[in-house]
Amino acid sequence: MLVRLIRRIFGWWHVATIGTLIHTFFKGVNVGEDVIGNKYYVSKDGKKRWVIFAGEIEASSIQPEWHAWLHKIVDHTPLEKPRTIKSWEKDHLPNQTGTVNAYSPSGALTEGGMRKKSTGDYEAWTP
């Protein structure tokens, strides 16, 4: 319990701080929530926009439509004017670095550390 309170007060990189929650309560208007559970707010005067993350604070977990709204690229939220998804588009994924789904090229240490032999177009530099 005490650890959660300390994390809430000082750990802005883990969860929204108490100051952010108080500011949101008094000055924010909830405009929507995405499929992950992130909640989006706009100030009562309409000048500022922000997000309260559902879990760990990770900017890549924001979907492109909400990103465009947060950065004032578009004036409407994805809930007000949904975007048509094309058949060739993939679902949004947050950054996979540090997970088992992260990309590892063939020469990476996680893949054995042996890269393929060069194909003749590589010439080693010698001083």
Per-residue pLDDT of 7-62, as tens digits, reads 766 766 667 778 888 889 999 999 999 988 999 999 999 999 999 998 888 888 89
Identify whether 99 is part of a domain. Answer: no
- Residue ranges making up the domain that contains 73: 2-83
Q: Which one of 51-55, 80-84, 92-96 scores highest in mean pLDDT?
A: 51-55
Identify whether 34 is part of a domain. Answer: yes
Q: Are 116 and 107 in contact (CB under 8 A)?
A: yes
Give the predicted TM-score (pTM) of the model: 0.70
Identify whether 66 is part of a domain. Answer: yes
Per-residue buried b or exposed e for 74-112, using 16+ beta carbons within 10 Å of the residue's own CB:
beebbeeeeeeeeeeeeebeeeeeeeeeeeeeeeeeeee
User: And the tokens for 42?
Assistant: 């706009």
pLDDT score at 82: 84
**What span, in angstroms and rounded, lies between the C-alpha atoms of 10 and 116?**
47
Q: Which has the minimum average pLDDT: 40-49, 67-76, 81-90, 113-122?
A: 113-122
How many domains does the chain divide into? 1
